[in-house]
């Protein structure tokens, strides 16, 4: 009944997306200060545990059962109730539903972890755990259902191939809300502790992103290959664009961290459009993402927003930009299951993409800000000053990343 090739590919894609969360931990761990490496890395790794539990108990059900045309699903599939070895994914009968559930779970794991780079060195672990649960239930799950689970936005005609709205716009603007609520670090100097660790994290993210985007075809066909190649093209063009802009403007030197950051910006920006646009437009998106995300980070710095690891500028603005450009460049000739964008006469589709993206970003920002106020009444969100000065590794976790005696 099930196609072994499709099932095998989707298990591989699931594994690749899972690898992105450790990759993100390494990326953020390298960017963080020396005293906060473990504090930021544990926030990614703990999401793998807690999110899996939530997803199994009720998260998958809320996202992908019931609620047709609505905002959220129901509890029909709590703890995978009614799903057995013969259950097929409704969108592709060649794929077991168990595999689809696992694949989507990896998206749920990494999305809130993206936010953590914004508030490095400032948030208590207890408050983060509460944040992790509430944010998924009230932000991530509704947008998954509305866009991918047959909800309101899907029926309205909004498309998001692999998470420009669902993942990057929501996480990026939640990060901005967190930054504004928490305020600046006591020591805002942000010198990376390990550029090789950043490079390792970027490599794992880039590698995993092929599963993130190509796997979102949920099949093995030409669109799968297109999404794979679009991902690489956009990341490459964005990386070089960021490198050149930074080299020619402020730094006057070719910066490795800039190249790596540009690559991640390109990966985030192509995500919503990967399976709906032609290869030349992927290159255009790469160039635009490298430039726009660089400008967004520069704007953030001038505004004095202490988004420590540039989550808003890279993921937030990348997700918004990519989804809007999907509304411009999409073509049914490329993917008949998609839509025609603005340049192909699809003005209504373009408007829907813009409205949905800006609405998602606004909701994520407002809800996150209010949620942090509520969490702070239960347990302090910001760490005490002495813990911040000592660093979260030792102050909160009683561990250090490096043995100073052997360095």
Whether 174 is in a domain gets the answer: yes
Question: 361, 370 in Cβ contact below 8 A?
Answer: no
Q: Of 272, 264, 172, which Cα lies nearest the Cα of 216?
A: 272
Phi then psi dihedrals of residue 85, to 5 deg: -65, -20
Domain containing 228 equals: 4-402
Whether 88 is in a domain gets the answer: yes
Tell me how far apart the alpha carbons of residues 308 and 305 are, in angstroms, rounded to a whole number: 9
pTM for the complete prediction?
A: 0.96
Q: How many domains does the chain have?
A: 1
**Token pair of 193 as six digits:** 């502790």
Tell me how far apart the alpha carbons of residues 291 and 244 are, in angstroms, rounded to a whole number: 10
Tell me how far apart the alpha carbons of residues 61 and 64 are, in angstroms, rounded to a whole number: 5
Whether 59 is in a domain gets the answer: yes
The pLDDT value given to residue 252: 82
Whether 304 is in a domain gets the answer: yes
Q: Cα separations (Å) of 391 from 27, 41, 176, 384?
A: 18, 13, 22, 11
Give the domain CATH number at 273.
Answer: 1.10.3430.10
Tell me how far apart the alpha carbons of residues 241 and 236 are, in angstroms, rounded to a whole number: 9
Tell me how far apart the alpha carbons of residues 335 and 326 are, in angstroms, rounded to a whole number: 12
User: In which element (H, E) is residue 260 found?
Assistant: helix 256-270
Whether 299 is in a domain gets the answer: yes
The series of mean pLDDT values per 10 residues for the chain, 407 residues long, is: 96 98 97 94 98 98 95 97 96 97 98 95 97 98 98 97 98 98 85 94 98 98 98 98 93 92 98 98 98 97 93 98 98 97 98 98 98 98 95 95 68
The pLDDT value given to residue 402: 87
DSSP code of residue 382:
B
Residue at token pair 């996480």: 171
Whether 202 is in a domain gets the answer: yes
Whether 407 is in a domain gets the answer: no
DSSP code of residue 95:
E
Q: What angle do CA 332, 335, 340 make, to 5 degrees?
A: 25
Whether 189 is in a domain gets the answer: yes
Tell me how far apart the alpha carbons of residues 247 and 12 are, in angstroms, rounded to a whole number: 38
């Amino acid at each position: 009944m099930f196609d072994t090739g499709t099932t095998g590919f989707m298990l591989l894609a699931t594994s690749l997306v899972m690898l992105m969360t450790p990759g993100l931990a390494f990326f953020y761990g390298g960017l963080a200060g020396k005293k906060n490496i473990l504090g930021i890395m544990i926030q990614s790794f703990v999401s793998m545990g807690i999110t899996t539990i939530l997803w199994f108990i009720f998260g998958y059900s809320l996202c992908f059962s019931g609620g047709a045309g609505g905002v959220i699903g129901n509890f029909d599939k709590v703890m995978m109730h009614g799903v057995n070895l013969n259950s097929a994914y409704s969108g592709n009968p060649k794929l077991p539903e168990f595999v689809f559930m696992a694949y989507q779970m990896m998206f749920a794991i990494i999305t809130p972890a993206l936010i953590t780079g914004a508030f490095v060195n400032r948030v208590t672990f207890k408050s983060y755990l509460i944040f992790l649960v509430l944010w998924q239930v009230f932000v991530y799950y509704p947008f998954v259902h509305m866009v991918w689970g047959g909800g309101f936005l899907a029926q309205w005609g909004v498309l998001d191939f692999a998470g420009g709205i669902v993942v990057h716009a929501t996480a990026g603007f939640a990060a901005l809300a967190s930054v504004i609520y928490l305020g600046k670090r006591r020591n805002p100097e942000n010198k990376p502790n390990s550029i090789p660790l950043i490079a390792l994290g970027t490599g794992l993210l880039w590698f995993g992103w092929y599963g993130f985007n190509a796997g979102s075809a949920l099949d093995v066909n030409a669109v799968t290959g297109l999404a794979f190649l679009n991902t690489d093209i956009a990341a490459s063009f964005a990386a070089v664009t960021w490198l050149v802009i930074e080299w020619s403007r402020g730094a006057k030197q070719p910066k490795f961290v800039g190249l790596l950051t540009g690559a991640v910006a390109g990966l985030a920006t192509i995500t919503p459009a990967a399976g709906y646009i032609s290869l030349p437009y992927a290159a255009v998106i790469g160039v635009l993402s490298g430039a726009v995300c660089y400008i967004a980070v520069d704007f953030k710095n001038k505004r004095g927003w202490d988004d420590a690891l540039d989550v808003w500028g890279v993921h937030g603005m990348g997700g918004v930009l990519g989804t809007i450009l999907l509304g411009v460049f999409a073509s049914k000739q490329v993917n008949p299951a998609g839509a025609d964008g603005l340049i192909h006469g699809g003005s209504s589709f373009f408007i829907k993409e813009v409205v949905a993206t800006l609405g998602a970003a606004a909701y994520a920002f407002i809800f996150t800000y209010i949620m942090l106020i509520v969490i702070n009444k239960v347990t302090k969100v910001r760490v005490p000053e002495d813990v911040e000065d000592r660093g979260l590794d030792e102050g909160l976790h009683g561990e250090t990343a490096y043995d100073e005696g052997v360095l």
